[in-house]
Structure 1
């Protein structure tokens, strides 16, 4: 091995570390300035109609099931919320969903990989914000939507096109700074 190739080989780890350091610094700086949102995972469905699906109702919920056809042409924005009774962040976001429902925003719920009895107990204990409520026990519909965890909420405009996706609980801050603005914009 020549001395030049030996120097290049020895300097390769330093170059890789430098590139990684610059990338890490850039990510931290963008997060500090608000230009980077680690929760802002893009969705391939933004600007499209939801994937075709039909789900069964949550038994004994008193709320009708729904499918993709029920999301088309409602004439006003609607939220589709993937949730589960075993999901702690779902408890955090539930008061915001209840508030939106009381204000007349249609909220369609999909109980994700949850036992029917547990889902029913959850909505009986915390209230039922859902205009429509269905079960996705195998999680197939959630996969088609690109859900990677619950809670996850999608905003569909008045024509039934997906305009926004939020992964994580809708907090008061998210509701006031993001969702209310989008609901007005897409009315």
Structure 2
């Protein structure tokens, strides 16, 4: 190959292209996943409860500010997140759980042993509701308005920092209003 051949610059061009592609991802929060559902209602569903004989629908997601938390016993980050969910529940924050692609006896045992922060636990055994919500994996937490609309989606662990920085600014002015209807 001659020194003045255009092929000499191919490795340099490849390196520059690779650097541009990789550089475009720097500074992005990997937990910031876009959600096409923000501002839209929770997708339609009818699914059973993990702990009762009830069935739940998207209508059970209306009437108050609440969290919708996707979790599973096979999810290590869900185990890390669980104590903070218990803290939020103790503060009066309503949390509906979606038990995602899990073994039901293991999920019941987990809540019995670790405590249950959820007002309801919806069984999504085949993952269809998760798919409709655009879930990439557990845990993911959605903020739901009293109208049943998705206000925020957070992928990953919900902890005090995330709660304070992402969720609280979107809620009514007083945290005591969480769980109440808009304007109540």
TM over 0.5: yes
Match of 2:60 among 70, 80, 83: 70
TM-score, length basis structure 1: 0.83
**Corresponding residue number in structure 2 for 1:52:** 44
1:161 aligns with 2:159: no
**Aligned to 1:135, what secondary structure does the other structure show?**
strand
Match of 2:69 among 73, 81, 99: 81
**8 Å contact kept, 2:59–2:148:** no
Rounded to whole Å, the distance in 2 between the matches of 1:16 and 1:25 is 14
Q: Provide structure 1 residue ranges, at least 5 long, that are not aligned to the other structure.
A: none
* Cα 1:95–1:51 shift into 2, 3 Å: same
**Corresponding residue number in structure 1 for 2:82:** 94
1:104 aligns with 2:96: no
Q: Structure 1 or 2: larger helix share?
A: 1
* Cα 1:45–1:128 shift into 2, 3 Å: same
Deviation of 1:23 (Å): 4.0
Rounded to whole Å, the distance in 1 between the matches of 2:99 and 2:132 is 15
Number of aligned residue pairs: 175
**Corresponding residue number in structure 2 for 1:20:** 18
What value does the CA root-mean-square deviation take over the aligned residues?
A: 2.4
Rounded to whole Å, the distance in 2 between the matches of 1:27 and 1:135 is 35
After superposition, give the CA deviation of every residue in 1:46-88 in whole Å (9 maximum; x if it has no partner).
1111111111111xx258542212113x1x3111111011211
Deviation of 1:164 (Å): 0.7
* Cα 1:41–1:109 shift into 2, 3 Å: same
TM-score, length basis structure 2: 0.84
